[in-house]
Amino acid sequence: MHALIQGIILGVLTAGVYALMASGQTLIFGIMKVVNLAQGAMVILGAYLSYQLFTSFGIDPLLAIPITTVAMFIVGVAVQLLFLRPLKSEDRSELSLLVTFAVALLLEGIMSVTWKTSVRSINTGYANSSWTVFGYQITLVRLWAFLLSIAALLVLYLLLNRTRFGRAIRATVQNPESARLLGVESSRVSALGFGLGAATAAAAGSVYGLLYPFNSGSHYDLISRLLSIVLLGGLGSIGGAVVGALIVSTSSAVVASTISPSWSEMTFFVILLLVLLIRPQGLFGTTARGAI
Amino acid sequence: MRSLRYAGPLRGVVFFALLASLPSFNLAHWVLNILVFTLMYAVMSSSWNLVGGFAGYPSLGHAAFFGIGAYTMALWFQHRAIHSGYEPFLLLPLVGLLAAAIGLPVAVIAMRTRSDVFAIVTITLLFVTQTLAFNLRGLTKGAQGLSIAAPPFSARTFERPFYYTLIVLLALAMGITFGAMRSKLGLSLAAVRADEDKARGIGVRVLGVKLLSFSVSVGLTAMVGGIWAYYEGFIYPQFAVDPLVTIAIVLMTFLGGRATLWGPVLGAFILETGQQTLAYSLGGSQFYLIAYAMVFLLVMLLMPRGIVPSIQDRLRQRRRRTEVDAGAPRPSPPTMTRSSDTRTSVPALKGHA
């Protein structure tokens, strides 16, 4: 019982960072109908950037977030303009999938040339402090990560719901043709939307770097988890991404604490399998477009 | 037209005769080694083409079946001795059948989804298999890996048995493709790719052809995995179930041309030889990953339809032009050349050439 509750606490705290990564990915899908396989690599790149800021300039990863998000926003816009916009042919969704895979490989290559392949971790002063509440351990760094992810999600929510740009994005998600008729420039929205997705990846990367050691190959683990979360929540639904992250992260943490850590990875896939068998469009996905 | 009818088979005979005669030129071992790997990828992209090209289901999970084949081979010979060195080759059909059988339920579930979601589902399948290969330590020995006894072939002609077996497999894969293109199966697959719901409406047995193409495809892929395991002699989970294998297969097929007979083979010969040379010259450093990704991106952006369809279109245009000049009646385009179906459009060609 103790292990179960400890697992639930850990899972909920970890869910924040996954929700953040997945919301970026699902946002990109919502806007462009592109499944971004490079999202994991972008997260790891964000983690490396904040690692570099921490080791070279002593900037705390949590404070580095404004810098890394801006940098990754630019990277994201560049990727969209250079590699995704030129795709015109009929099977664009298929091609864009492969292109983002290639971008993931490119980022992996660049990262392993720049930072080598040895495993890095960001060791802040508070990395090892923790509280014990009613016999359950809560590490400070995880609590921070959770609060920060929630804050970033809140910013994303406000951006989407309270700004002109957000309105344009939501309009594009719901109906690109009507949005275009109403004067939304969809190509610009696509570029900025991809940038926004990359920026959430950067924010998540800073948090991820605090929580886990990583190297350039870590993005394979991440992307497989992200895909399970996004499919569970329903492609294109940000609320779905958050709920999906909660479910997936909690159940895998419970499996890790009650059965064995090496099988926690499988939880993702078992959940995914169940989703596909029972509800292929995901929890909050619609067969029509426009769930955000 | 008579000469044209025999051009295809003749091309095949010449190609395979050339391939089969290559080892007798006393090529250096490293050349033969590259050829063995090139043939492996040629077989795998030809078989990927059955699902990803003809049926239009871009599977990113084929490397999982490559791994299944490799592990089946390695596990079978854990406690059995290899005497003549040829036993593993005899086991290959069984390896293929096993993978095809595993592929059936996978296809039933995964093929409920289409295009990009199907790709996601199959890529997660790849990661599941990799996790299993790491975690089922009782069976696979996890990260430690498995070894197979080295074949008792003489060092001088070591590669030959592998090489010839792969030629047979390539002939099998291309033969199946050729047969499919000429039969109702190919038509059904093309219908599934163009519009699955309509295809079902007009009476195509959609599920049947999808399952058939998927299991044949993964069966062939697993057989290559088996050969690879025996050839390498040692397998680790991260190389037996490797996302890079998947992506190489897909890239080769895209480069050469999806849903064509020669495209995947051409793609494999260009890319695998190129990649091996790159890996040698860049000394296996991570720059090679960057170079690989750049090639990938360039192919996708500049030639999304592949080499073979682009050339075919150009030839067809020229032929048409000369026939019009000669005042001959315009022949109706051949019905089953894949490159000329729904995908072909002149503006698209101009836009990307």
- The pTM of the full predicted model, rounded to 2 decimals, is 0.81
- B247 domain-assigned: no
Mean pLDDT of B50-78: 91
Which of A46-50, A68-72, B275-279, B336-340 has the least mean pLDDT? B336-340
Nearest to B351 among A88, A224, A280 (CB): A88
Q: A269 and B124 in contact by Cβ < 8 A?
A: yes
For residue A188, the distance in angstroms to the closest alpha carbon of chain B comes to 20
pLDDT greater than 90 at residue B319: no
Nearest to A231 among B120, B286, B294 (CB): B120
Q: Are B16 and B171 in contact (CB under 8 A)?
A: yes
Q: A103 and B301 in contact by Cβ < 8 A?
A: no
Q: Are B183 and B190 in contact (CB under 8 A)?
A: no
Residue type, A118: S
Residue B135 has what pLDDT? 82
Q: Are B145 and A272 in contact (CB under 8 A)?
A: no
Report the half-sphere exposure of B170 (CA within 13 A, side-chain side): 30
Nearest to B301 among A86, A91, A110 (CB): A86
Residue B349 has what pLDDT? 32
pLDDT band at B327 (very low <50, low <70, confident <90, very high): low
Angle between helices B243-256 and B307-325 (to 10 degrees): 10
* Cα end-to-end distance, chain A, whole Å: 37
Q: What is the mean pLDDT of chain B?
A: 82
Q: A97 and B112 in contact by Cβ < 8 A?
A: no
If contacts are CB pairs under 8 Å, which of residues 167-206 in chain A contact chain B? none
pLDDT band at A89 (very low <50, low <70, confident <90, very high): low
CA-based nearest residue in chain B for residue A37: B120
Residue A291 has what pLDDT? 39
Q: A87 and B351 in contact by Cβ < 8 A?
A: no
pLDDT band at B343 (very low <50, low <70, confident <90, very high): very low
Q: A266 and B131 in contact by Cβ < 8 A?
A: yes
Nearest to A110 among B290, B296, B342 (CB): B290
pLDDT greater than 70 at residue B346: no
Residue B335 has what pLDDT? 47
A136 touching B (Cβ < 8 Å): no
CA-based nearest residue in chain A for residue B288: A109
Counts for chain A of helices (H) and strands (E), in that order: 11, 2
**B296 vs A260: CA distance, rounded Å:** 39
Interface A-B: count of C-beta contacts within 8 A: 127
A110 touching B (Cβ < 8 Å): yes
- B277 domain-assigned: no
Q: Which of A110-114, B79-83, B262-266 has the highest mean pLDDT?
A: B262-266
User: pLDDT tens digits for B216-240?
Assistant: 999 999 999 999 999 988 888 888 8
Nearest to B290 among A89, A106, A221 (CB): A106
Q: Which H or E run contains B151? A: none
Residue A289 has what pLDDT? 43
- B351 domain-assigned: no
Residue type, A36: N
Residues of A in contact with B346 (CB under 8 A): none
Residues of A in contact with B58 (CB under 8 A): 94, 97-98
Nearest to B115 among A86, A94, A276 (CB): A94
Q: Are A216 and A44 in contact (CB under 8 A)?
A: yes
Residue B215 has what pLDDT? 94
pLDDT greater than 90 at residue B309: no
User: pLDDT tens digits for B199-218?
Assistant: 888 888 889 999 999 999 99
- B336 domain-assigned: no
The residue segments making up the domain with residue B182 are: 2-242
Q: Are B293 and A109 in contact (CB under 8 A)?
A: yes
Number of domains in chain B: 1
Which of A149, A120, A76, A74 has the alpha carbon at shortest distance from A217?
A120
**A73 vs A9: CA distance, rounded Å:** 32
Residue A234 has what pLDDT? 81
Q: Classify the complex by whether its ipTM is higher than 0.85, answering yes or no.
A: no
- The share of chain B scoring above pLDDT 70, in percent, equals 89
Beta strand A136-139 with A130-133: parallel, antiparallel or unpaired?
antiparallel
pLDDT greater than 90 at residue B314: no
A259 touching B (Cβ < 8 Å): no
User: Under the phi-then-psi rule, with left for phi > 0, alpha for psi from -120 to 50, and beta for the rest, what region is A271?
Assistant: alpha
Residue extents of the structural domains in chain A: 21-217
pLDDT band at B190 (very low <50, low <70, confident <90, very high): confident
Residues of A in contact with B290 (CB under 8 A): 106, 109-110, 113
CA-based nearest residue in chain A for residue B343: A90
For residue B17, the distance in angstroms to the closest alpha carbon of chain A comes to 35
